[in-house]
Chains A and B, each alone.
Chain A
Amino acid sequence: QSVLTQPPSASGTPGQRVTISCSGSSSNIGSNYVYWYQQLPGTAPKVLIYRNNQRPSGVPDRFSGSKSGTSASLAISGLRSEDEADYYCVAWDDTLSGPVFGGGTKLTVL
């Protein structure tokens, strides 16, 4: 069982807006930054969002992150076929003294 809770799957059609949630607790999301990673099949994860809502250079502004209390969300607008991937949220956990991952959400573009 992952410390952070994500829905196992999400889907949308091209052009739609999709949101993926990540639920945690006061010891992780509630008091630390949230990160979002995208993992394409057979590749390593790649950072999409860092420090709650910041995008690294090269990440399209179709991707956005937000945080409220002990939950966070990743929104993808203008959905494209190449967005089909697994998405993971990550946050430092003060109790475990390490970063903890969500279980991952498999996004399907219909």
Chain B
Amino acid sequence: QVQLVQSGSELKKPGASVKVSCKASGYTFTTYPMNWVRQTPGQGLEWMGWINTNTRNPTYAQGFTGRFVFSLDTSVSTTYLEISSLKAEDTAVYFCARAPQLPGEFDYWGQGTLVTVSS
């Protein structure tokens, strides 16, 4: 069965970096793109962008350029989200989500990774 398993919670200081992983299983990893979605109490759910797991080409949504980087390691069927120069407002739960047919049509989600940025 399809599973997306994310790495555990992170506590980081402002200015640091964090790398969240999302390991896929149960399907051919390079067949479908992977999306990232952020959830904060104030902004709700926001689409951060997606990465083409075949070409490795990332697409970033408005507001998620510069400090946010999507990458992947096909040898372990894993997608990564790296956030640099962390700010308090980056505190959120980050989800990976597969959208095999159409953008926004997320059929499987990771369990979410809480990233807390605090001094």
Of residues 51 to 108 in A, which have CB atoms within 8 Å of B's CB atoms? 51, 56, 88, 90-92, 96, 98-104
What separation, in Å, do the CA atoms of A99 and B50 have in the docked complex?
11
Which residues of B are found within 8 Å of A91, using beta-carbon distances?
Answer: 104
Question: Nearest Cβ distance between residue A110 and chain B, in whole angstroms?
Answer: 24
Cross-chain contact B44 with A90 (CB below 8 angstroms): no
Which residues of B are found within 8 Å of A46, using beta-carbon distances?
Answer: 109
Tally inter-chain residue pairs, CB-CB below 8 A: 56
Cross-chain contact B44 with A98 (CB below 8 angstroms): no
Interface string of B86-119 (1 = CB under 8 A from A): 0000000001010000111111011110000000
Which of B47, B61, B104, B110 is packed against the most chain A CB atoms within 10 Å?
A: B104
Contact with B61, one of A2, A51, A88, A98 (Cβ below 8 angstroms): A98
At the interface, yes or no: B62 with Cβ under 8 Å from chain A? yes
Cross-chain contact A43 with B111 (CB below 8 angstroms): yes
Question: Nearest Cβ distance between residue A43 and chain B, in whole angstroms?
Answer: 7
Cross-chain contact B47 with A100 (CB below 8 angstroms): yes
Cross-chain contact B49 with A47 (CB below 8 angstroms): no
What separation, in Å, do the CA atoms of A92 and B46 have in the docked complex?
12
Identify 19 residue pairs between A and B in the complex whose beta-carbon atoms are under 8 Å apart, listed by A's number.
A2-B44, A32-B104, A37-B106, A44-B97, A44-B109, A45-B95, A45-B106, A45-B109, A47-B105, A56-B107, A96-B62, A98-B47, A98-B62, A98-B103, A99-B103, A100-B47, A102-B44, A103-B44, A104-B44
Q: Please give the residue numbers on chain B whose beta carbons come within 8 Å of chain A beta carbons, in ascending order.
A: 43-47, 49, 61-62, 95, 97, 102-107, 109-112
